[in-house]
Amino acid sequence: MTQSMRNRANWLIPCAAVGALLAALPQASRSADDPRDWLQKMNHALATRNYDGTFFHLSEGRVETMRIVHRVRAGRVSERLQSLDGSGREFVRNNDELTCYLPDQHTVLVEPRPDNGPFLGSLPQFGADVNEFYRIESLPATHILGRAARVIAVNPKDQFRFGYRLWLDEKTAMPLKTQLCDSRGQVIEQIFFARLDMPESIPDSDLAPAVRTEGMRWVRQGPSRDNASPALSAYRASELPPGFHLTVAGTQTIGGATVPASHLVYSDGLATVSVFVEAQPADAPGAHSTAAGADPGPSTPAEPPMQGLARVGSGFAFSTVVQGHQVTAVGEVPAQTVEFIAHAVKSSGSAELPRH
Amino acid sequence: MSEQIREQVSAFLDGELPNSETELLLKRLTRDGELRESFGRYALIGEAVRGTTRGGLITRGFTGRVNLAIDGESIPANEHVPHARGPRWWRPFAGAAVAAGVAAVAVVALQQRAVAPTLRPGVPLTAQTAVPAQGALRAASGAVPAPREAISYTVPATSPAAPAATFPARLTNYVFAHSKYSSGLAQRGVMADLLIESDEQQSPAVNEAAAHVAP
């Protein structure tokens, strides 16, 4: 995995990919009010400023209140994301690792996320062809949180991806409100700050989890074993929606499986879809429903294969069975995108995944 | 819910609530689940009334009629009325009946989106979906970097007696695994979703065989 991939756990870097849209554009051709410049300012502000804010996350009529604390000190980034009214879960990220406090599960999960490079250097870089699939425009300015705000829209040009509307603070370019929208502009999910402070410094205590960890189980995950069979590694999407291409391929153990799964990542530069391919147990109902299968997988207790479409957060998942393998596509994209990609997955016969 | 809180919620959604009152509202919302639910409905209704659901279900004429209804004025059938706004406290709840209709339409639309027949590989794109030149379907290429780390979130051992229960947990693990590669603004949504405790979503649990347990 590349360094830039590791750093994507930062939730407010989010805007990194939007900012990356700009990388390929000639600076000289933009005016001072070019919306793409504002996205770049936002990207820079998110990565370099200290901030402490409380925001609302609205999705499907449900509201959650969350707090984000982000500190950049001596080139090191620390971040804390906390649910204030729900599960009590917290994510604390430092340069080296992401720690997930799950009090409802009496568990703390620690995932290594090494980061030895400059933070800004971790921003993903994409080609100019990304602009083929999104249209960036300014909308009328407004006020939010008592501040003047620029409103920028990142509109998808087709129905294979979602777009965004962003309300950026005129002074700092920090996003005060964001909306995830479909290709018709309908809001799917939105986040807006009720409070946003940008202090000069943030004490360590503000980055310490509030969860009491006495009696909780700590789980630290090490590197995965790359022991997928060649047959499993041969699976790829033979066709993709416009603009999507394979960016990452590898194997890892997913869930309670005893064998690794192939994990493929497809992206158009802004939207990302993961495809998981797992050998289906030979005695599972429907394991060979799609085609006569090679590599039917280990003999383990039968688990029915997942089939069809499911809503996952603001995105979708689509599962099917291909040649005795469970194939699931997941992403913050419209339903037809995950379905398209999942249906396109097939074994190429002899491909071998690159090793890391 | 008091009228004062309604005013505060409405003013906040309009970006016009003073910071001092915002703090108070925030505290109330953190404590009061029912108020949060109402807040969510207000936000949805507000988007509809403000017409930010552009090009879709809500027309400008519809918005005007809703606002007239909020003002308590009669609306001739099929008459296109100008955009008008009522008193703030009214707007979000305004016409709860109308709002309920809007919400219902939104839900139906979402369900339709989830189950609508979709494009499949090998099927030519329609004019609606087509994008210029490079938009043609392209085959996936091979040489790409590989992920280096495993995901630490796992589901419990499956129980043949209750196979259906493993579906959401398995998907949740996929989402966790996917979150590492989510790009851009989508990352924010994924992380927020994972923080939310959902009745419909099983929490990821620990694979006993793979986990290293520390004191």
Give me the interface pTM, i.e. the ipTM: 0.76
Tell me which chain B residue has its CA closest to the CA of residue A255.
B154
Does the pLDDT of residue A264 top 90, yes or no?
yes
Of B41, B149, B193, the CB nearest to A61: B41
B17 vs B76: which has the higher pLDDT: B17
- Asked if A325 and A278 touch (Cβ cutoff 8 Å), the reply is yes
Q: How far is Cα B88 from Cα B102, in angstroms, rounded to an integer?
A: 19
Exposure b/e, B5-25, CB count within 10 A at least 16 = b: bbbbbbbbbbbebeeeebeeb
Q: Which residues of B touch A216 (CB under 8 A)?
A: none
The number of beta carbons lying within 10 Å of the beta carbon of residue A297 is 23
Does the pLDDT of residue B70 top 50, yes or no?
no
What's the pLDDT at A88?
82
Interface subset of A 251-310, CB within 8 angstroms of B: 251-256, 258, 263, 265-267, 269-272, 274, 276, 301-304, 306, 309-310
The number of beta carbons lying within 10 Å of the beta carbon of residue A124 is 21
B111 vs A318: which has the higher pLDDT: A318
CA angle A63, B116, B139 (to 5 degrees): 100
What's the pLDDT at B171?
76
pTM: 0.65
Of B207, B183, B149, give the one whose Cα is nearest residue A250.
B149
> Range with the lowest mean pLDDT among A152-166, A222-236, B44-58?
B44-58
What's the pLDDT at A233?
80
Q: How far is Cα A190 from Cα A20, in angstroms, rounded to an integer?
A: 21
What's the pLDDT at A138?
93
Q: For residue A336, name the pLDDT band (cuts at 50, 70, 90).
A: very high
What's the pLDDT at A306?
82
| Mean pLDDT of all residues in A181-204 | 89
All residues at 6 or more sequence positions from B25 whose CB lies less than 8 Å from its CB, including other chains: A194, B5, B8, B9, B12, B17
Q: How far is Cα B72 from Cα B90, in angstroms, rounded to an integer?
A: 10
- Please tell me the distance in Å from A214's CA to the nearest CA on chain B: 10
Give tens-digit pLDDT for B7-18.
Answer: 888 788 777 787
Interface subset of B 101-130, CB within 8 angstroms of A: 103, 106, 109-110, 113-116, 118-122, 125, 128-130
Percent of chain A with pLDDT over 90: 24
What's the pLDDT at A349?
67
Q: Which residues of A touch B209 (CB under 8 A)?
A: 258
Helices A15-23/B185-195 angle, 10° precision: 170
Does the pLDDT of residue A173 top 70, yes or no?
yes
Of A336, A185, A322, give the one whose Cα is nearest residue B115.
A336
| Mean pLDDT of all residues in A68-77 | 88
